[in-house]
Structure 1
Amino acid sequence: MINNNSLIPLILSLLAGLSTVIGAFILFFSKAENKKLITFALSYSAGVMITVSFTDLFISAEETLSKHNGNIKGVLYSLLFLLIGALMALLIDKFIPEAPKTNDNTNEKLYRVGFVSMIALMIHNFPEGIATFISGYENTSLGISIALAIALHNIPEGISIAMPIYYSTKSKFKAFKYTLYSGLAEPLGAFLAFLFLRPYINDIILSITFALVAGIMLYISFAELIPAARRYKYHSIYLFSIFLGIFTIILSHTYSH
């Protein structure tokens, strides 16, 4: 049955997923794509993810695995699973179909760009929901940190779906609907983790998961979020937001320990 340990991470994953819809609302209520806000969200999310990976996830994995296997093996196993997590994220990227790049702005092709973006981000969001649930199930403050980072980078993802759908169909409802579908993949992943993975959660499984998630989050930060944020050339916002994300997690430790 659902108890507080399960309910909180399920709610966190739902909120993180629904933040995708914020991207659609930003598009609807602004005359143009708010590039400064996108830069802030991407950079802040990268700062949060990198800091959480090194100060929470990897350290927790290394401590537990060292306790069971000795210091040297514990560190090596932690690094191995971190690398596997990064490779998993890389493979997900490779197998997701890319939206077609075209200068022909016909409605049909724009619509296809939005539809392919929705499918790609659903695949991307599903494992994030699993990671949010497993992390939050054991440690609520860690789950909140991960959900915050995911929520912030889901906002520009929502824009990337809503924009081509809206401009190709002239329908706010369709743009909202497709963005919502993408976001709901997050709580779906969390719910399936609750149904099938929860009975198997123990110290070793948690440690391996933490190291895997650290690798996934580091890959997302360095391969996707930071390059995307720098593309808009708001360098001051980019640097400020990354450090703000780092400071947020470090300061949160004073309240969670």
Structure 2
Amino acid sequence: MLVAFLLTLLAGGATTIGAALGVLGRGTGPRTLAVGLGLSAGVMLYVSFMELLPAGAEILSAAESSDGRGTALAVGAFFAGIALIAVLDRLVPEPVNPHEFEGRTGPEDIAHPSAEQNHRARLLRTGMVTAAVLALHNLPEGFATFASALHSPELAIPVVAAIALHNIPEGIAVAVPVRRATGSRSKAFWLATFSGLAEPFGAVLGFLLLMPFLDGPLMGAMLAGTAGVMVFVSLDELLPAAEETGEHHAVIYSLIGGMAVMAGTLLVL
């Protein structure tokens, strides 16, 4: 059990590497921000459509009388996840919701104090929401890593490596906007680190409370719903914030790079 927990801690702790990269040096340049956010969006989109949603559909199909019904339930859970995070987003009052703005905040706009303040508020909320969603995603991910390591530590090693690889850009995606919004390296570092530590927490929580329930339809629905949440956050939070830097090509290249990183880790598995 100790080995399984340590492997899960290692996977979640890789977020710290991304957090450190996000706060080293200036860490606030437009290109750094664009690459960090675009990279994480690519990872999240790819893992959502190519891993989480299919895995959820597979689990639900095995629990149902037909594959078609299981797939339909997974799709329903996927859009339920999108609806949940969208409703939470709309509950934020418009005057303080950093998503409700007119036009892109470019360098010429940030020269004005009010525009700079709004820009920092948007970046801070992006980092906070990303950290919360990634922590939510990391809970079942941590439990899955822990369970596989309990069964066979040797088989869990490539899983840990894959999760660690995609946790690095996750750490960057949290740390960079928070660093730019607050000017605090320590706040950015620890917020990103804590989002990754949700994985060992998920391992302990799952072992104590959820083991009897997460081996069936609930796990499938959770995976598909998490995919929906991650897709919404990528499209509504990460990519708009990345595009605001004005580094369009850096965003696109890093988005594709994030997908390639995640594709490579899945192929290794």
User: Normalized against structure 1, the TM-score is what?
Assistant: 0.74
Alpha-carbon distance in structure 1 between the residues aligned to 2:38 and 2:49: 17
Aligned sequence identity (%): 16
Matched AA of 1:185: F
1:152 equivalent to 2:151? Answer no
Alpha-carbon distance in structure 2 between the residues aligned to 1:203 and 1:89: 24
Alpha-carbon distance in structure 1 between the residues aligned to 2:196 and 2:45: 23
| CA offsets 1:76-101 (integer angstroms, 9 cap, x no match) | 110111112223333454467757x9
Q: Is the 8 A contact 2:144 2:203 kept in 1?
A: no
1:75 Cα deviation from its structure 2 partner: 0.8
The residue that corresponds to 1:171 in the other structure is none
Q: Is the 8 A contact 1:51 1:249 kept in 2?
A: yes
Alpha-carbon distance in structure 1 between the residues aligned to 2:163 and 2:204: 21
For residue 87 of structure 1, the aligned residue among 69, 83, 89 is 83
Matched AA of 1:37: T
Where do residues 112-123 of structure 1 align in structure 2 (5 Å cutoff)?
117=125, 123=132
* Cα gap change, 1:91 to 1:134, in 2 (>3 Å): farther
* Cα gap change, 1:121 to 1:43, in 2 (>3 Å): closer
* RMSD, aligned α-carbons: 3.5
Q: Is the 8 A contact 2:23 2:185 kept in 1?
A: yes
Where do residues 1-257 of structure 1 align in structure 2 (5 Å cutoff)?
1-4=1-4, 6-17=5-16, 19-27=18-26, 33-69=28-64, 70-94=66-90, 104=113, 117=125, 123-137=132-146, 140=156, 144-145=161-162, 147-166=164-183, 175-198=184-207, 199-200=211-212, 201-256=214-269
Q: Is the 8 A contact 1:81 1:212 kept in 2?
A: yes
Alpha-carbon distance in structure 2 between the residues aligned to 1:71 and 1:125: 29
1:240 Cα deviation from its structure 2 partner: 2.3
1:224 Cα deviation from its structure 2 partner: 1.6
Q: Is the 8 A contact 1:18 1:183 kept in 2?
A: no
Q: Is the 8 A contact 1:12 1:132 kept in 2?
A: no
1:16 Cα deviation from its structure 2 partner: 1.6
Matched AA of 2:204: L
1:214 Cα deviation from its structure 2 partner: 1.1
Larger mean Cα displacement after TM superposition, 144-153 or 66-75? 144-153
* Unaligned residue ranges in structure 1 (runs of 5+): 167-174
| CA offsets 1:133-180 (integer angstroms, 9 cap, x no match) | 1343456556655554453143243233233443xxxxxxxx233223
Alpha-carbon distance in structure 2 between the residues aligned to 1:74 and 1:152: 32
The residue that corresponds to 1:170 in the other structure is none
The residue that corresponds to 1:169 in the other structure is none
* Cα gap change, 1:194 to 1:211, in 2 (>3 Å): same
Matched AA of 1:35: P
